[in-house]
Amino acid sequence: MQTTGLRRPSNLGTTFSQLQCHYMGLDYQETFRQICSLGFNRIRLCSYWHEIEPAENKFDFTALDWLLEESHRHGIDVALTVGMKAPRWPEFHFPDWLHARQDTATNRAAVDLNPEIADRALNFTQTVVRHVREAPSLKYWQVENEPFTRLDITAGRYLSYDFVRRETELVRSLATSNQKLLMTTAISLPAADLAEDDRAFQESLNMADAIGINVYTKVPAGNSLFYLQPLPPYWEKLKAWQASLADSNKEDWIAEAQAEPWEPNQLVAMAKAEYPSCTPKRTSNLVNSLTDLGYSTVMLWGCEYWYWQKKNDRNLWWWTMQQIIQASTVEA
């Protein structure tokens, strides 16, 4: 039975991380098959540098090839992240061999200012694109993940506009004619630095065919027990960006819509069935709000978490996702 009042956009998806499955003790293939069975029409996959290039110039695409093939088998379009920064902690996924000879942990700095890191990252990106670009399910290349955002969880590290321009030009030169470029950004909570947010949005708009915005509605304030939540200027900015994307004839995405708890000092909050930062009801309401704002693609964040809950006999998250997917579609 479908829950009344639910609305969803025409494109609904999620982000899948084999890295997160490993951390949570899940078999990534079993988990991915279950996620694909839910009925999403888009999924975002991650090319993790440390996984694919464990030794310098020695590449292993076993996991990524399997995920792309399984996506195709289920008829799901894929957006693939490429570069040094990808979804899930610690975001900068440097291989050990690079850690060993370069300072990859420099605080509050553009990581690509180190010439070797920049060159090796471009080589990695080029290798990934060349290897998987003919995959039939692959429709979007996401160049880096929130590259310009300076978050505490990444020790304030970020990527420069100049480097990301070089990288997007490289990917575009190698992509097939039917593939588009996606970039992601965010609005600061609680909408405290809108000028810098606007610059990141505009720079992304100039480089990509689609822009994805990450939307989290209740997150810890540092290591405290307090939470940050969006104020009215946040939602006003989110609506303005959607209008700007429509005017520019660019695709408007919510790349991450919070559908997993984000609790203080926890990589994943797994001890309880529900947490203050995110519940199935909050997620349903968020999808409604984003649909009403006109976003045509919403990617729900936390699929590994939903499946972990299901395997531990807590079915509410899984059931809620089924209800959202089955909800009435609203065309943007």
The pairs formed by 311-315 with CB atoms below 8 angstroms and a separation of 24 or more are 311/26, 314/273
pLDDT band at 276 (very low <50, low <70, confident <90, very high): very high
What pLDDT is attached to residue 106? 82
Task: Assess whether pLDDT exceeds 70 at residue 197.
Answer: yes
Share of the chain above pLDDT 90, in %: 88
What ranges do the domains of the chain cover? 7-330
E-assigned strands of 144-296?
180-186, 210-215, 219-220, 227-228, 251-258
Q: Using the predicted structure, report yes or no on whether residue 318 has a pLDDT greater than 60.
A: yes
User: pLDDT exceeding 70 applies to what percent of the chain?
Assistant: 98
- Is the domain spanning 7-330 CATH 3.20.20.80? The answer is yes
332 falls in which pLDDT band (50, 70, 90)? low
Provide the 10 A C-beta neighbour count for residue 137.
20
Mean pLDDT of the chain: 95
SS3 169: helix
Pairing of strands 227-228, 219-220: antiparallel
Does the pLDDT value for residue 196 go beyond 80? yes
Model confidence band, residue 3 (pLDDT cutoffs 50, 70, 90): very low
* Secondary element (H or E) of residue 40: none
CB 227 within 8 A of CB 219: yes
Q: Which residues pair with 42 in a beta bridge?
A: 13, 77
Tell me the pLDDT tens digit for each residue of 33-91: 999 999 999 999 999 999 999 999 999 999 999 999 999 999 999 999 999 999 999 99
Instruction: Read off the pLDDT of residues 97-114 as tens digits, 9 standing for 90 and up.
Output: 999 999 998 888 899 999
pTM of this prediction? 0.97
186, 146 contact by CB (below 8 A): yes
Is the per-residue pLDDT at 326 higher than 50?
Answer: yes
CA distances from 23 to 46, 73, 154 (A): 15, 26, 18
